[in-house]
Every structure is written in C-alpha cells, then in structure tokens.
Amino acid sequence: MLRPVLLGLAFLALAPNTQAQASSPATTIAAEACFGCHGPAGQGVTGGAAIAGMDRAELSATLIAFRSNERPGTIMGRIARGYNDAEIAAISDYIARQR
C-alpha cells in the first residue's frame, strides 16, 4: 500500500513545474500594456523599440533606470515609477518569454 503512494509522490516530484512559467493575471495585464507602444507581443513598431525576448535582467535594469530617471525617456520614466521591484521583475520575465 505504501509503495504506490511513494511511487506517485516520486512522479509528482519529477513532473515539470508549470507554475514557474505561469504569469498572474495582473502581470499579464501590466506586461501587455507595454505592447500598446512596443507593438504586438513587443515585436516593435515605429517609435516603439522591440522588447520581445529581451534578456530579463537587462529589461529589469532598464525599467529601474527609467524609474529612477537615470535613463531619459519620453514616457517610460512615468510608467516605470508605477511599478515596484517585484512587479518590474514579473513584467520583465513575461516579456523575456515573448518570441
């Protein structure tokens, strides 16, 4: 009786962690708001840089620089000031996974 339970637990432990890839609805909404200026799925448009697939750490650093006015931008500083570090990390992760 104990053997099937242990076998089941072993399969669960080896199963891929799909939760790590999932985004919260709030993160999805916040990240997809970026696509209004950066094009569908962040692919870029005239006046809006391509951000899809950008390195997560680089994107986070860029958003933090906009937030602290270390990097000039037309609207990005005002937008980035609306996010805390955890939100910037989540948005950066979401956008980095776009292809």
The mean pLDDT value of the chain amounts to 80
CB 56 within 8 A of CB 39: no
pLDDT at 18: 33
Higher-pLDDT residue of 5 and 98 is 98
2 within a domain of the structure (yes/no): no
Q: Which amino acid is at 90?
A: A
Nearest to 63 by CA among 78, 48, 47, 42: 78
Q: For 45, list phi and psi in degrees, rounded to 5.
A: -150, 170
CATH at residue 65: 1.10.760.10
The domain in which residue 46 lies consists of 21-96
38 within a domain of the structure (yes/no): yes
69 within a domain of the structure (yes/no): yes
81 within a domain of the structure (yes/no): yes
Higher-pLDDT residue of 39 and 2 is 39
pLDDT at 22: 65
7 within a domain of the structure (yes/no): no
Give me the number of domains the chain comprises: 1
Task: Please state the rounded mean pLDDT for residues 1-21.
Answer: 37
Q: What is the pLDDT of residues 72-96, one digit of tens each?
A: 988 999 999 999 999 999 999 999 9
